Copies of this chain bind each other. A is one copy, B any other.
Amino acid sequence: MAEKTIDIAQPVLSRNERIADRLRTRFSESGVFVVNVLSSPGSGKTTTILASNERLRAAGLTCAVIEGDIASDVDALACKDAGMPAIQINTGGLCHLEGNMIEQAVDAFDTSVGLQDIDVIFIENVGNLVCPVDFDLGENLSVMILSVPEGDDKPLKYPGIFQHAGALLLNKVDVAAAFDFDLAEYNHVLDDLNPTAPRFEVSARHGQGMDAWCDWLLGQIEAPRV
């Protein structure tokens, strides 16, 4: 059953690959580092982006954001309020972002701010632990955010996205006392699924762990890219 749906999606996926390659070249030529931010709805993607922007801006970098949502523009407005160039994509029901949507958003940045004046673009994907993984957006890094209230069993249930991620953030650790999140079990499963991606325990809202995450991110941004 699953194979049937995957077969149907194949032409869309390979078309997306071509667009992603085009985006990758464009990002590289403009010196933009792109972070694809993935999580369930309500894990703290926007709060993490805002808190990261603060720290990267203090390090002299200009960050912009592409907000992907089924509907509404509340996240893009919050980022604009924080002084970030922001483009809202409403997918109108689609459960993930695709390369052609990113291309349109990047065109809009190029016309408004100028792509060469942006150092980092955060792409906030649609809140979904399944579908976004299949769609390469030409990003340099994909970050998976799990929040403590969601439970320690999520890597077991949604292994694909945890395997795929280049960095793993555990958010909302400030409320850990109210939940029975088993950190050892979470880490144990990730040791199998994705032993190489660095893990950060953070509270995007209250700042805990955010310096460590942003220092590492800064290292990735400043590292020579191949």
Contact = CB atoms under 8 A, between A and B. Distances in A.
Given A40-B42, A130-B128, A153 B74 contact: yes
Interface stretch (A86-94, A107-115, A212-220): A86-94
A69 B131 contact: no
A156 B93 contact: no
A2 B150 contact: no
Interface residues of A, number: 48
Contacts of A159: 70-71
Interface stretch (A4-12, A22-30, A52-60): A4-12
Given A130-B70, A131-B131, A41 B157 contact: yes
Given A149-B175, A175-B175, 5 more contacts: A2-B94, A8-B11, A70-B158, A74-B157, A178-B178
Interface of A: 1-2, 4-6, 8-9, 11-12, 40-43, 69-72, 74-75, 91-95, 98, 100-101, 126-131, 147, 149-151, 153-154, 156-160, 172, 175, 178-179
